[in-house]
Each structure stands twice: as C-alpha cells, then as structure tokens.
C-alpha cells in the first residue's frame, strides 16, 4: 500500500469503484481480506448508528416530555428508551460483535467524531426546545449518511461474496469433471 493510501480512511478505500475492479483476477486470500475489511467496517457503522439511535431516542423523549405527552422523567424512562430498538421479535437485531468497535476519537475530523463528542445530552436541561430539535435533526442527518454508507458496504460485501462463491462452484465443477 502506498503512502497516500495509508493516510486515506478505510471506508473511502472500500467504497471506491476500484475496490471491486478485476475481482476475477484477485487471489482468493485477498478476496477474503477485502470481504473481512468491508464486514468490519459495516459492523462499526452499525454500532455507530445504534449509538446515534440511542441519542436520538433520548432527545425525542425529552421533546415529548416537554410537550406534556410524557409524564415520566428522562431518568425514569431511561431503561426503556435505551432498550427500545434492540429487539426485533425474539432476538436482538444487532449482530454479535466479539470486540466492540473503538469509540470514535473525540479529536478526529470526521463528522461522526464531532457528533459523538457532542455535549447536547449533558446540557439537555438548559437547552431550549428549538435547540433540542436542531440537535435531533443533526443526529438524523448523520444517521442517514451512515445508513447510506452501510447500504454501499452491503453491496461491496455481496459482490465479493458472489465472486468467492463463484470460485468455489467452479472448483466443484472442475472436481466433478476430473
């Protein structure tokens, strides 16, 4: 990897069209590494999205409370708020992660770094309704961007997986002919 590539973010590299170019000529080990990298990024983005959803849920609850639609305090509702969205049917909808992705650096340049460092939640009692709504909107925009990246990663993973499957099928066909 050249010096320029080392400084670029992995997500940018994986989502560039070049990442999927010439897959039939890439050796199987490299394909597996690319799939693992894309899968790791997808897990990290999913984790960040869940963190954003938790913040969005807290802000939305606070707005409901302020409008008189909710009588409980934020602290009273906290366990319910944070657990909502984690279950879909009888099983968790977040896949198991052996190692949690690192939290974004609060000194980073990425928007997610700034959002995760946002002090809105600690200042919540002092914020006007429009400030809470603005913070909720900012989080929603970042979540939308992450969702888009996640969909793109799914496409990359699927494309690489299809190439790997094609190779195994080809090997099975060759073995059957022999």
Instruction: Report CA-CA distances (Å) from 67 to 57, 84, 136, 142, 144.
Output: 15, 21, 16, 25, 26
pLDDT at 83: 82
Phi, psi dihedral angles at 103 (to 5 degrees): -65, 150
Asked whether residue 59 carries a pLDDT value surpassing 60, the answer given is: yes
Asked whether residue 176 carries a pLDDT value surpassing 50, the answer given is: yes
Q: Which residues contact 28 (CB under 8 A, 6 or more apart)?
A: 164, 167
pTM: 0.74
pLDDT at 136: 92
64-81 confidence digits (pLDDT tens): 999 999 999 988 998 888
pLDDT at 61: 94
The C-alpha atoms of residue 49 and residue 140 are separated, in whole angstroms, by: 10
7-37 confidence digits (pLDDT tens): 578 999 999 999 999 999 999 999 999 999 9
pLDDT at 122: 82
Asked whether residue 60 carries a pLDDT value surpassing 90, the answer given is: yes
The C-alpha atoms of residue 162 and residue 175 are separated, in whole angstroms, by: 20
86-131 confidence digits (pLDDT tens): 444 444 444 444 554 554 444 455 666 666 666 778 888 889 999 9
Looking at per-residue pLDDT, the higher value among 151 and 94 belongs to 151
Per DSSP, 110 falls in state S
pLDDT at 84: 76
pLDDT at 106: 41
Instruction: Report CA-CA distances (Å) from 153 to 101, 111, 147, 164.
Output: 16, 19, 10, 16
Q: How confident is residue 155, by pLDDT bands cut at 50, 70 and 90?
A: very high
């Amino acid at each position: 990897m050249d010096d320029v590539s080392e400084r670029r973010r992995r997500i940018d590299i994986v989502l560039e069209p070049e990442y999927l170019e010439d897959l039939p000529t890439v050796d199987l080990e490299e394909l597996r590494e690319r799939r693992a990298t894309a899968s790791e990024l997808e897990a990290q983005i999913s984790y960040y999205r869940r963190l954003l959803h938790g913040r969005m849920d807290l802000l939305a609850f606070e707005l409901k409370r302020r409008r008189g639609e909710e009588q409980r305090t934020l602290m009273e509702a906290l366990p319910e708020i944070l657990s909502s969205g984690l279950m879909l049917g009888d099983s968790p909808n977040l896949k198991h992660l052996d190692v949690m992705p690192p939290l974004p650096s609060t000194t980073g340049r990425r928007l997610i770094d700034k959002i995760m460092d946002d002090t809105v939640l600690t200042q919540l009692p002092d914020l006007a309704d429009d400030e809470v709504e603005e913070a909720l909107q900012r989080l929603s925009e970042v979540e939308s961007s992450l969702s888009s990246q996640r969909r793109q990663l799914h496409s990359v993973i699927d494309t690489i997986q299809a190439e790997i499957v094609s190779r195994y099928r080809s090997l099975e066909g060759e073995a059957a002919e022999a």
